[in-house]
Amino acid sequence: MRKKKEEKEIAITVKDLHIAYRGLKKFSIKKSLLHLKTSKLEIFEAVRGISFEVEKGKILGIVGKNGGGKSTLLRSIAGIFSPDKGIINLHGNSVSLLSIGVGFQPTLTGRENIYLSGLLLGFSEEQINQKYNEIVEFSELGEFIDKPVKTYSSGMYSKLAFSITAILETDIMLIDEVLSVGDVQFRAKSYNKMRELIDDDTRTVIIVSHSSETLQSLCDEVIWMHEGKIKMQGDPDEVIEKYEEFMKVKK
């Protein structure tokens, strides 16, 4: 765990955040046409009025059972989802999200996706050029870098996603359950690289994980999310202990 800084500088502010998903309820197309009725929308509020701040250089962990709103929160901080209500302020910091299943255009090659991802992260073409060879080398994709991403295995996809996020360093890193990806050798390499990145005390990190050991060893503070709300926030050991007690009772 990093040493505490004397000066408090906020990197992330989340205030009264609400995010809801909207979808059509199950219905019969035939009935709908015959009765000319408009189908009702089903609304699920994934994030329900949460507020917190993260100091620059701190590592915040987020824990909670599946469906608690953790990944939705990370995607909203990354700018993928727009809040229905509330404020997300990154205070001018650049941000990247490392989450398998988010990101690439399947018909484009790995090379093209590197440039597209980099541009979306706010890097110039010149900056991406400077990091391109390092990204490809780290990904271990070789000639597959010029093949469409839709032809990649899940392991290859993960390697490329990790390499882009790890090499194109941003001020804020959001990590969603992917501290290690790919084969055994690559998992070791990626874990070491991630430790190197998050040990930089100028970089702010939010980690979503089900691994108590990961959160307790890396994080300065942990938030426990439950049904879209913050159930507890504070010292990693204390929060994890309460969370695990809660989950044992629920089983």
Strands 221-226 and 59-63 turn out to be parallel
95 found inside a domain: yes
pLDDT, position 55? 96
| Alpha carbon separation from 178 to 81, 96, 163, 189, 208 (Å, rounded) | 20, 13, 12, 13, 9
User: What confidence score (pLDDT) does residue 226 get?
Assistant: 95
For every residue of 8-52, DSSP letters joined together read --EEEEEEEEEEEEEEEPP--HHHHHHHTPPPPEEEEEEEEEEEE
**Position 2 in a domain:** no
Q: Establish how many alpha carbons lie within 13 A of residue 114's alpha carbon, considering only the half-sphere containing its beta carbon.
A: 31
Q: Is residue 5 situated within a structural domain?
A: no
* pLDDT the model gives residue 154: 82
Residue 119 lies in a domain: yes
CA dist., res. 165 & res. 36, Å (int): 49
In a domain, 216, yes or no: yes
* Number of domains comprising the chain: 1
Closest CA to 210 of 232, 187, 179: 179
pLDDT tens digits along 43-86: 888 999 999 999 999 999 999 998 889 999 999 999 988 999 99
Say which CATH number the domain at 68 has: 3.40.50.300
Q: Are 69 and 228 in contact (CB under 8 A)?
A: yes
The pLDDT assigned to 12 comes to 98
Q: Which residues of the chain have pLDDT under 50?
A: none
Asked whether 45 and 17 are in contact (CB, 8 A), the reply is no
- Cβ(172)–Cβ(90) below 8 Å: yes
Cα separations in angstroms, 155 against 50, 151, 161, 178: 34, 11, 10, 12
Which range of residues forms the domain containing residue 88? 10-250
3 domain-assigned: no
| pLDDT for res 33 | 53
